[in-house]
Amino acid sequence: MFNRVILIGNLTKDPEVRYTPGGTPVATIPIAVNSKFKQGDEMKDEVLFIDTVIFGKQAEACGQYLSKGRSVLVEGRLRERRWEYEGQKKSKMEVVANTVRFLSKKESHSGDPGPGDAHAPDEVSDVEPF
C-alpha cells in the first residue's frame, strides 16, 4: 500500500507544541489548502482545513519559526484518529508530517525580515518517534 500526501497551504493558527510523557515534542499546525475548479462555465473555490502533526526537532522548529498566515509545504502520510465522546464515536483525518518546508517569510513594513526569521530554516525533517 502507498500513503503519501503533499500539501501547500497557509497556517490558520499559530502552531501548538506539546510534549509526550517521554519528552518528545509534538506540534500541531492547522493549514488551509485552497483549490480552484471549473463547474460548467463557472470557476469555484474550495478550501480544505487540515490538521498536520509534526514530531521531534522539526516540531520545535515549527513552534519557533511558524505563525498564523505562513505558507508551508507539508509532506507526510494521512492517518485517521478515532475516539469516543459522550457516547458518540468520532473520527478525524490528519497528516503526520515527515517534512515541513517553510515557503514564505513574514516581512515588516520596511521590507526587512521580521525578528526570528533571519535564521529560520527553509526545511526541517524528522520521523515519527514510534
Tell whether the model's pLDDT for residue 115 goes beyond 70. no
Tell whether the model's pLDDT for residue 70 goes beyond 60. yes
In angstroms, what CA-CA distances link 36 with 39, 48, 63, 104? 10, 11, 30, 21
Cα-Cα-Cα-Cα dihedral of 5, 103, 10, 56, to 10°? 60
Band (112; pLDDT cuts 50, 70, 90):
very low
- The structural domains of the chain, ordered by start, are 5-125 (2.40.50.140)
**pLDDT tens-digit series, residues 41-60:** 888 889 999 999 999 999 99
Q: Specify the pLDDT at position 27.
A: 97
Q: Specify the pLDDT at position 105.
A: 63
Q: Specify the pLDDT at position 1.
A: 87
Query: Could you tell me the pTM of the whole model?
Result: 0.73
End-to-end CA distance of the chain: 19
57-70 burial, b if ≥16 CB within 10 A, otherwise e?
ebbbbbbebbbeeb
Band (118; pLDDT cuts 50, 70, 90):
very low
